Structure 1
């Protein structure tokens, strides 16, 4: 029950009713979304969490349809914002912000959870994400730790030159999901 309550709180306070995207933060005292930024990695974590929850919550449970609808609406918005490179911007609805690999990998992993529905977008994501992984496995273009910033400019200036564990992890989650999907398509993976 606590987990469902936490999820529904996130949806209530963080999912933008107009865009279906998730805001980066919420200030309960001020009753505002602070900088009102739709941050890529935050949207990735929300989408991944919902995709995983749908694997665990029985379809007959009242929360299932709410989570499924929230994820469907969010992903429908996100695919419209995908850059031609296959990645998403640090601020998903701001093309002036840098492309960001970890958020893109998380979003693409959630898209993959929906079966073939988003294949067109997944193909470009695979290419875009692989282009940011070096021969030694380093994932490039991953934003450093990102607090809720005052404005969009703060997000645009977050450094992305160092190796970040969450970038490596989200890229691995995406690649594992791609391999699992291929295994399902081709039987034993051959």
Structure 2
């Protein structure tokens, strides 16, 4: 009797182990355990955003203008509301914008830098969902300024040089730019139907690919900063994903961008930690697991699988594992932890390792919403 019980126990344990292994290897991006679904996580993070004042990079005073981490989170909340057909959330997000249409219009950034111009993606998304022409006017003006002649106090000699070569005068060759530029330009094409915006952004993307992508598929922060910084690469991964979702396939740069995207995704697979995370410095195993880059890479992989760019059997499990681990970093206040603080380009390895780990910073909140949206897209 004892022998039978022993073997039954072994059999049960083996079944449990087999089930756990199968679960870990699952590439299912549709069904998730209760508490881990994109609907639940997205609602938690979106509600947290709606209740939050305008952030100012951790400073105790309100910002002079809307900052780009807020822009990215706002955009993510709007796309989540769209996929959920959540009219109540859309109304809350539009209400957040309403003061900017009146007395608080000074909070709208002057579009003379990539970090400011990306704000245009928010009114352009609001326009697509509400058809209110006031949003279109603001968003289109910002997208147009990015490609117009150099203008404003931030203009440099390099601004004119890039503009004369057919690139945005806001070019600076930091990998961050390839979300800031492609997001607003992709949105301008989606909102207006004019492909000139995204065609220019695709040409700009190739310039950055040629300048910053290395043979292993990853990107230096800038030409003179030879480190594979997590979130910087995350901006690039997310930017290529946003661009590829809408750039016409007959665009001559489409094959080049798709090849660069796939090369990057293949490299990221090799550097993903066993638990699903990616690190502050991607190729440094001693570097700490970082949530904003993990969220951005997860978004890029989900988007690739959903659109058929990536093999679902290979990338589905990686994306699922990353999502399930990433959401364990969300605390009781619906703030994600271990977010790298805002980071300039610096040619110093230790500088990246020593960056502060923040909680609730919108650099980390935004990718959660992007992932939730991507998981809900058909």
TM superposition score normalised by structure 1: 0.86
Q: CA deviation at 1:84?
A: 1.1
Whichever structure has more helix as a proportion of its residues is: 2
Q: Which residue of 2 aligns with 1:21?
A: 218
Q: Hey, what's the Cα distance between the residues in 2 that align with 1:174 and 1:152?
A: 29
What is the RMSD of the two structures over their aligned residues, measured on CA atoms? Answer: 1.4
Q: CA deviation at 1:98?
A: 1.0
Match among 350, 354, 357 for residue 157 of structure 1: 354
Deviations 1:69-97 (A, max 9, x none): 00000000011100112110011111111
What are the Cα deviations for residues 39-88 of structure 1, in whole angstroms up to 9, with x where unaligned? 11111111111111111111122111111100000000011100112110
User: d(CA) in 1 for partners of 2:206 and 2:250?
Assistant: 17
| Count of matched residue pairs | 173
Q: Does residue 252 of structure 2 align to residue 62 of structure 1?
A: yes
Partner residue in 1 for 2:24 = none
Q: For residue 321 of structure 2, what is the aligned residue in structure 1?
A: 124
Runs of 4+ in structure 1 over 3 Å off:
none
| Residue ranges of structure 1 left out of the alignment (5+ in a row) | 27-33, 185-190
Conserved 8 A contact 1:144-1:162: no
> Does structure 2 conserve the Cα–Cα contact (< 8 Å) formed by 1:19 and 1:77?
yes
**Aligned residue number for residue 52 of structure 1:** 242
1:122 is paired with a residue whose SS is helix
Is 1:101–2:291 an aligned residue pair?
Answer: yes
Structure 2: 5+ residue stretches without partners: 1-198, 306-311
Deviates more, 1:41-50 or 1:99-108: 41-50
- Correspondence for 1:143: 340
1:166 to 343, 346, 363: 363
Report the alpha carbon displacement of residue 24 of structure 1 after superposing the two structures with TM. Answer: 0.8
Conserved 8 A contact 1:84-1:124: no
Q: Which of residues 4, 27, 37 is equivalent to 2:227?
A: 37
2:268 and 2:238 mapped to 1: Cα distance? 13
**1:8 has 2:206 as partner:** yes
CA distance in 1, matches of 2:341, 2:216: 26
Question: TM-score scaled by structure 2?
Answer: 0.44
